[in-house]
A and B are shown apart, each in its own frame.
Chain A
């Protein structure tokens, strides 16, 4: 890993699905190490398609994706998948082993880790999300909020360069939502968070990107973007009822 390079550089990324639907029309973005960035945008804007490119589940039609200086292509996929930690929206898609311990160990074990080092990674990752007590429990016995935290741990155990979260606050009760926010804030890792939860973006991310019709339509401080009523309206983004963001705090 070259320490000077940004965590993520996407340039001129375009992609059309096999059925011909063009989803991305040339996306450019750079995320520096340690930044927490929200990716906002209406349904169908291309957010998920973009995320699928970050770890090579989809491969670029045109343009490039680089993670920590390493380009995403067939030969680099193993390292790319370690560097990009993808947390799925539905934890049941991500937690597929009989116990929490095995689930968290799955990724690092695929990287070839065994024994004490593997155990250390598993415990460390669960500790960071406050789920160490659940080590030997089956994932399906945990609450939804706990499952999502374990899903985050499965990815942290890979010691990723960038954590990519798909709708991290969806379906969480207010207390679980806040707990997850505290956990995310405590992590010393670059975060890209795809969300419709604008207050969550404001709370956790200094910077936001607005994606619309397959391009990045706006990129700036979350507070500034969310205070721009015209911008929000243009891209089908709406703040919750009774919620207003002053352009300058205070």
Chain B
């Protein structure tokens, strides 16, 4: 959840000042380059570059770690599998490749306001107009999705706490029913709130 919303770390670094589009394009180029880099030495250089970019952004070690932390088990599993099917150097480079790509994506999230990302996306989606889709709608849809993550997460926590309070540790039904009902209720009210503020008029 933290990786999706509220991750933006305010700052005035050159990375913060770059337009969202440039950062996203840069991310695409860098990830492609990561895939193409073969020698482990080149990947080591890439790792140094990523670390340097983080240093330039000034987001701090905690925020940086928070971006990579969620994939630590996945990276470990990947390393293990690669070690079996390939060799040590292969395992190191493919794991490094994935972790660096995630770190770079995380850096974009950390230095870009959601609003700027959305605005950029809205511009990119402009051609969708010709297919009869409203780019503003699409970008609003994405905003709402992002905003719903913490709401549903909080709802899930509340439901789980309510279960525990009644002595149920694991019951899919006791968890799913209130969660779905709560999410639907929220969706209903959200629809009314959107209408009340003039969407669809």
Contacts and interface: CB of A to CB of B under 8 A. Distances in A.
Interface string B133-147: 000000000011011
Contacts of A97: 143, 147
Q: Which of B144, B146, B197 has the most CB of A within 10 A?
A: B197
B193 A93 contact: yes
A96 B190 contact: yes
A94 B197 CA distance: 9
A110 interface: yes
B37 interface: no
B201 A77 contact: yes
Interface stretch (A81-89, A203-211, A214-222, A225-233): A81-89
Contacts of B148: 96
A88 B186 CA distance: 12
Contact of A99 (B114, B151, B195, B201): B114
Interface in A69-119: 77-78, 81-82, 84, 86, 88, 90, 92-99, 101-102, 106-107, 110-111
Secondary structure at chain A's binding surface: helix, strand, loop or mixed? Answer: helix
A107 B198 contact: yes
Contacts of A90: 189
A98 B115 contact: yes
A18 to B, nearest CB: 15
Contact of B150 (A99, A102, A107, A140): A140
Contacts of A140: 5-6, 147, 150-151, 154
A98 to B, nearest CB: 4
A136 B10 CA distance: 10
Interface in A164-218: none
By size class, the interface of chain B is 20 to 34
B196 A98 contact: no
Query: Which interface residue of B10, B198, B199, B201 has the most chain A CB atoms within 10 A?
Result: B198
Interface residues of A, number: 33
A88 B197 contact: no
B194 interface: yes
Main secondary structure on B side of the interface with A: helix
B143 A86 contact: no
Contacts of A248: none
A81 B10 contact: no
B87 interface: no
A106 B147 contact: no
Given A92-B151, A98-B114, A107 B190 contact: no
A95 B5 CA distance: 14
Interface in B1-32: 5-6, 10
Nearest to B4: A98
B6 A138 contact: yes
A55 B146 contact: no
Contacts of B199: 110
Interface of B: 5-6, 10, 113-115, 118, 143-144, 146-148, 150-151, 154, 186, 189-190, 192-199, 201
Given A57-B195, A96-B144, 17 more contacts: A57-B192, A57-B196, A78-B201, A81-B201, A82-B198, A84-B196, A92-B186, A95-B147, A98-B146, A102-B115, A102-B143, A107-B198, A110-B197, A111-B198, A140-B151, A140-B154, A158-B198
